[in-house]
Amino acid sequence: MTQSTFQGQTSDFTQQAVAGVIGGLAGGIVFGMMMGMMGALPMIAGMVGSSSAVVGFLVHMVISALIGASFGVIFGRMSSTYGAGLGWGLLYGLVWWVLGPLLIMPIMMGMGPQFGNAFTSSNMMSLVGHLIYGGIAGLVYAWWVNR
């Protein structure tokens, strides 16, 4: 009995992670197009030592899939309706705006945390992009688990 319960939990975990990846990729495509229009993809490529927009888009999509998978694992059962998926997705997008462009990315690039620059116009555009990413990821997650 314990083994079948464990297998059921593993299956739920896997399904939530896969749905999260799908949602993350959907949000990542839209956000990636926005970043391309703003000329931000070479900066993303800088995290891996490149300046290519194509490399930046690929890095962005890998990150989008990983963040999407973590969304599915963390918020899975709470995000199974469209409203909840949207709400939790927006919150997760906000969290990743703080973690990504304000903390992790600048540290990786040797600049240190950028909390003091959070409300510059470029970071406000980044916030909008992260909210759009999170909203789409949450909605697509909810759609995927209810299809």
Q: How many residues does the chain have?
A: 147
Task: List the chain pLDDT tens, one digit each, 147 residues.
Answer: 334 444 555 688 899 999 999 999 999 999 999 999 999 999 999 989 999 999 999 999 999 999 999 999 999 889 999 999 999 999 999 999 999 999 998 998 899 999 999 999 999 999 999 999 999 999 999 999 999
pLDDT at 109: 82
The pTM (predicted TM-score) of the whole model is 0.90
State the virtual CA torsion across 13, 136, 41, 45 in degrees, nearest 10: -10
Contacts of 113 (CB under 8 A, 6+ apart): 102, 103, 106, 107
pLDDT at 9: 59
pLDDT at 113: 97
pLDDT at 4: 40
**What proportions of the chain, in percent to the nearest 5, are helix, strand and coil?**
85, 0, 15
DSSP assignments along 26-94, one per residue: HHHHHHHHHHHHHT-HHHHHGGGT---HHHHHHHHHHHHHHHHHHHHHHHTGGG-SHHHHHHHHHHHHH
For 112, the 3-state DSSP assignment is coil
